[in-house]
């Protein structure tokens, strides 16, 4: 049975991640929001510390940034296990309380790292496990519908030859490698979509543009072009066999682990905004307000209570989806529910906090306006709000993607 409190053995993860948010992220948050595309060198030391924690066996502490791992899922009936998935969401929420953009640009903690951990072979993990790996999925004509991608990969001898264009690649310039989604047989549709590990510097792979963005400016977002880019045959993640019944579903399972982490990002930035709003508004709060009945409170107090309840609902959905992943329970429905709820709450809550705080919320003298900009991405990447609701509807109604579009 899932417990609604932070597991005792993971409280150190939460405390350490919160300390990073307070002492490392917050002091440089505005600096790298203003200096877009400038790499935050302060994070190199943090990455080295995390690597040392992993190498030294401090897995529970480092798991906050390491992404969910396939081996963390239990076989057989639920055992109430709290593993890497739970540690990842708890830690990420605290990091993003500090700064979402900086959390996204910690070396060796990319979405591609999560994919490698989830489905990579032992040999692939040994070769790429200490690299910073980005994920390249979206294309100019294939946004929310991942099945519509047109990037191709054909097998020539002992090499895959990749051609296509990928946009909105988080850490696309800074990463050491990229996991690229491509079709090995376009005539077979989504069943033929596979993912490939492509090291940076591979001939035929080129970063052609960095995008200016509304928020998460500390994180670079790149466009990458592949022209006859060749990688070894063994660089495919998973099997090269095409199973029209479940091949694409297997690729999509990466999202079952990463969507709860994105939900945690939303919870973190929303929590930061709510905490700061209470702090700012509390300065004008009369001393007798704390002693009176909640039914006699102001409209602002009622609104803060409502926002807090919405945030708590998103947090509980996120913890449940992570707990299910750790205990080997299929969580596609719950992962999408958590991501949809948390993303929507983060956008609404941060904007409402800006409104409640007036000039203090709108000016660059405070981080509230930045958090409102940063929050929007949590409702977009890893599947938009609309896509999440579509996934939820399909799961609840028992419909396939062909039956419910």
Give me the DSSP letters along 215-239: S-TTS-EEEEEEEEEEEEGGGEES-
Round to whole Å and give the CA distance between 14 and 398: 37
H or E element at residue 47: helix 42-55
Contact 260, 318 (CB under 8 A): yes
Round to whole Å and give the CA distance between 55 and 73: 21
Round to whole Å and give the CA distance between 232 and 330: 32
CA distances from 165 to 162, 182, 199 (A): 10, 10, 16
3-class DSSP state of 58: coil
What are the CB-based long-range contacts (under 8 Å, 24+) for 58-62? 59/84, 60/9, 60/10, 60/12, 60/13, 60/87, 61/12, 61/13, 61/16
Q: How many CA atoms lie within 13 A of 56 on its CB side?
A: 9
> Residue 234, Cβ neighbours under 10 Å: how many?
12
Contact 179, 135 (CB under 8 A): yes
Residues 6+ apart with CB under 8 A from 26: 98, 99, 367
Would you please indicate which residues are annotated as catalytic (active-site) residues?
Answer: 382
Tokens of 44: 């190199």
Name which of 104, 128, 91, 109 is nearest 14 in CA terms: 91
| CA 175 remoteness from chain centre | 16
3-class DSSP state of 165: strand
3-class DSSP state of 100: helix
């Amino acid at each position: 049975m899932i417990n609604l409190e932070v597991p005792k053995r993971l409280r150190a993860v939460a405390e350490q991640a919160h300390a990073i948010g307070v002492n490392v992220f917050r002091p440089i948050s505005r600096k790298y929001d203003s200096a877009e595309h400038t790499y935050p060198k302060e994070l190199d030391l943090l990455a080295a510390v995390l690597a040392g924690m992993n190498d030294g066996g401090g897995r529970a502490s480092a798991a906050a940034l390491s992404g969910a791992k396939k081996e963390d899922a239990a076989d057989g009936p639920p055992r109430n296990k709290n593993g890497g998935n739970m540690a990842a969401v708890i830690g990420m929420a605290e990091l993003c309380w500090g700064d979402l953009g900086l959390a996204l640009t910690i070396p060796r903690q990319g979405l591609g790292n999560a994919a490698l951990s989830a489905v990579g072979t032992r040999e692939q993990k040994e070769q790429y496990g200490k690299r910073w790996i980005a994920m390249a999925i979206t294309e100019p004509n294939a946004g929310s519908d991942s099945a519509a991608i047109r990037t191709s990969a054909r097998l020539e001898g002992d090499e895959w030859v990749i051609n296509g264009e990928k946009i909105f690649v988080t850490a696309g310039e800074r990463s050491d490698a990229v996991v690229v989604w491509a079709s090995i047989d376009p005539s077979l549709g989504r069943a033929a979509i596979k993912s490939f590990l492509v090291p940076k510097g591979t001939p035929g792979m080129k970063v052609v543009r960095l995008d200016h963005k509304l928020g998460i400016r500390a994180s670079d977002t790149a466009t990458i072009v592949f022209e006859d880019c060749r990688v070894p045959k063994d660089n495919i993640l998973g099997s090269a066999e095409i199973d029209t019944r479940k091949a694409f579903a297997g690729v999509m399972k990466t999202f079952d682990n990463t969507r709860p982490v994105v939900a945690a990002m939303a919870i973190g930035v929303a929590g930061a905004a709510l905490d700061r709003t209470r702090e700012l508004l509390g300065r004008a709060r009369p001393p007798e307000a704390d002693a009176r009945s909640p039914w006699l409170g102001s409209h602002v107090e009622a609104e803060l209570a409502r926002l807090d309840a919405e945030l708590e609902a998103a947090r509980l959905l996120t913890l449940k989806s992570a707990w299910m992943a750790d205990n080997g329970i299929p969580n596609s429905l719950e992962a999408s529910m958590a991501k949809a709820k948390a993303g929507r709450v983060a956008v609404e809550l941060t904007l409402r906090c800006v409104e409640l705080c007036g000039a203090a919320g709108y000016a660059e003298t405070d981080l509230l306006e930045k958090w409102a900009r940063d929050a929007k991405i949590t409702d977009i990447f890893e599947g938009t709000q609309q896509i999440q609701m579509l996934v939820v509807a399909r799961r609840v109604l028992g419909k396939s993607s062909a039956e419910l579009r």
